[in-house]
Structure 1
Amino acid sequence: MASRALARRPLSITRGLVAARSLHATTPSLNDKPKPAPTTTTSSSSSSTTAAAAEGDKVPSQGFLGSLFYGSEHARAEGDIKLLEKKQHSKTVGRGKYVHEKITHAVIPGHRDAYLEAAEAYFTTLAKESYNLGNVKLCGSWETIVGAVGNFTHILEHEGYKGYDETRVLVAKNQTLQKHLNNMLPHLQTRQHQLMSEFVFLPMSPPRDSGYPDGGVFELRTYQLQPGKLLEWESAWRRGVEARLRFVQPVGGFFGQVGQLHEVHHIWQYPDMATRQAARGKAWTIGGWADTVQQTSRLTQTMKTTIMLPTSWSPLR
């Protein structure tokens, strides 16, 4: 049986993490709503000319893409793959406002406690000094208990690629952070970084305390897609994800942009594994979910699921 032991107690600054990370808006502005087509009151002899002029004045990108970026009903109705394929992948399916950095540390067996001490110092300092480090935010930190046991996953949020560049330079110059990083490195077998974009229909959750015992369990699902199939996968998932949202708290959905490409991740939170199993069963009772699974399975090369526990300093728990 997997251990449910939590990470060490956080530093005194940990409790300020939730306040430190600003919430990002996910609701559309009024300007993003598609405008209704103009009506005419002219006589029948001139109505065709007026209608043609009205059609000529329409700008499809305002109505379609403006709604698509916020996952509206209008966008779902017009989300034809043939139209989507004409657009750049990342701009069509991605929210675009933030860049998320997924950091994976594989810890040497027997070094867990020493790693946790150094990692806690590093990531809590990063969160505390966010304003001076390009406004980077720590979204969450987790320890794998099913899957690659001994792995730790950390997700950072950057204000676009410009923010990522700024943070990278400032972190390298910060002596305190470099000291904590150097304390972590001897305990690692490998480390991997991937830059990701959020899906518009499943943006990253702001910090929260679920109230679940010990923060509950988090499921990280990873899909390696066939090259060129991201748009089709996104369209099918966007239509079917409502079935899952009825029974489980979403954390976020992402696709890789730098590092491993054609890779999709989504994260869900449950109070425990029994609830997870029940929620997955209930999703199959909702119309459309079976079709979503069938459509996305044929676009996928490999898939895996990882069960994680939040560390004591994680803003998401």
Structure 2
Amino acid sequence: MMSPLRLVLTRGKVSAWRELSACAQAKATFATGPRQTDTTFYEFRTYTIKPSKMSEFTKHTNENFHFRTIHSELIGYFTMELGALNKVFSIWKYGNFAERTAIRAKLAQDKDFMEKYLAKALTMIDKQDSEIAYLVPWCKLDKPEKTGVYELVTFQFKPGGPAVWGDAFRAAISTHVHTGYTKLVGVFNTEYGLLNQVHVLWWNESPDNRAAGRHFAHEDARVVAAVRESVRFLDSQKNVLLVPAAFSPLK
């Protein structure tokens, strides 16, 4: 027969285990999405160019941007053609925040970059914006083999994170992929910038192919059903047509 003291200690251990278990369940209940284990992130930089300087800025960048790309990995560089005007958009890849900090410090010490590119470019830039985003766990970055145009669709969801809207959103994206009219390049969840925001980057052969594919998708019952479910969590969305620069890795 168990002694009274041992019985109390045993009950105490059981009680403590139950408390820890309840705590773990609570954390799982309130988690906002899968744990981020990959430290790799992407910086989205958008520059608004003075309208009268757009042509000059493009020429200057085409000729001198190699002074910037030698320092870190450029994923894509684009001009916004439809949905916005006089803007350029670039995506940079970093292994972690320490790497980005070190690269930014080297850039400040690089005379070629500072004097041959940045000094003149800054006189033509009206505004700069930066966001940090991670690829969502269920998506890998894909690089189309052929040249084409890109569509960046930005979704602003209701607060709560992927735990609230993640499954419905993934289903909606998957149905568009399965129609075959477009190619998914990447899905990015914003970490610094507007929260509950997701950027989806698509590739199409041309704007006309994209338009024809969208009309076809809107008649697909699977797409209609999935989109109808996901928009319950949506606040707004915006899209822009991107044309890659000659030096852009994403062509």
Mapping 1:4-19, distance limit 5 Å: none
Could you tell me how far 1:278 is from its partner in structure 2? 2.5
Show structure 1 runs of 5+ residues with no match. 1-81, 131-135
1:159, 1:125 → 2: CA distance?
Answer: 21
Separation of aligned partners in 2, 1:84 and 1:268: 33
* Counterpart selection for 1:105 from 34, 38, 47: 47
Residue 165 of structure 1 corresponds to which residue in structure 2?
101
**Cα distance change on mapping 1:292 and 1:160 into 2, 3 Å:** farther
Alignment of 1:48-127 (within 5 A): 85-89=29-33, 92=34, 96-121=38-63, 123-127=65-69
Letter in 1 for 2:134: S
User: Contact between 1:95 and 1:200, CA under 8 Å: does it hold in 2?
Assistant: no
Summarize the Cα distance change of 1:83–1:269 in structure 2 as closer, same or farther, 3 Å threshold: farther
User: Which residue identity is paired with 1:297?
Assistant: V
Say whether residues 1:188 and 2:136 are aligned partners.
Answer: no
Aligned mates of 1:84, 1:250 — CA distance in 2? 30
Bigger strand share? 2
Does the aligned pair in 1 maintain the 2:132–2:191 contact within 8 Å? yes
**In the TM superposition, what are the counterparts of 1:135-150 in structure 2 within 5 Å?**
136-150=72-86
8 A Cα contact 2:32 2:161, kept in partner: no
Tell me the secondary structure at the aligned position of residue 114 of structure 1: helix
Alpha-carbon distance in 2 for matches of 1:109, 1:267: 26
Larger Rg: 2
What is the identity percentage for the equivalent residue pairs of Structure 1 and Structure 2?
19
Instruction: Calculate the aligned-residue CA RMSD, in Å.
Output: 2.4
Q: Closer, same or farther in 2 for the Cα pair 1:234/1:191, shift >3 Å? A: same
SS of residue in 1 equivalent to 2:123: helix
CA drift at 1:219: 0.7
CA contact 1:95–1:198 (8 Å) conserved in 2? no
Shifted more, 106-115 versus 238-247: the winner is: 238-247
Matches within 5 A, 1:104-253: 104-121=46-63, 123-127=65-69, 129-130=70-71, 136-179=72-115, 180-206=117-143, 208-210=144-146, 215-246=147-178, 247=180, 248-253=182-187
Secondary structure at the counterpart of residue 111 of structure 1: helix
Q: Report deviation, 1:202.
A: 2.6
User: Is this contact kept in 2: 1:122–1:181, CA < 8 A?
Assistant: no
Aligned length: 223
CA shift at 1:182, angstroms? 1.7
How far does the alpha carbon of each residue in 1:23-73 deviate from its partner, in whole angstroms, 9 at most, with x for none? Answer: xxxxxxxxxxxxxxxxxxxxxxxxxxxxxxxxxxxxxxxxxxxxxxxxxxx
Q: Distance in 1 between matches of 2:27 and 2:223?
A: 24
Contact 1:107 / 1:151 at 8 angstroms: preserved in 2?
Answer: yes
Alpha-carbon deviations, 1:117-171, whole Å to 9, x = none?
Answer: 33335542232x24xxxxx210001111111111110000011222222222222
**5+ residue gaps in structure 2?**
1-25
Q: Which string of whole-angstrom CA distances, capped at 9 and with x for unpartnered residues, describes residues 187-222 of structure 1?
A: 11111011111112233234x541xxxx32211101
2:207 counterpart (273, 280, 290)? 273
C-alpha spacing 1:121/1:256, structure 2 compared with 1 (3 Å) = farther
Name the CA shift for 1:124/1:193 in 2 (closer, same or farther; >3 Å). Answer: same
Hey, what does 2:23 align to over in structure 1? none
TM-score, with normalisation over the residues of structure 1?
0.64
State the shift of 1:301 in Å.
Answer: 1.4
> CA separation in 2, counterparts of 1:85 and 1:253?
25
Kindly indicate whether the alpha-carbon contact (under 8 Å) linking 1:84 and 1:231 is maintained by their aligned counterparts in 2. no
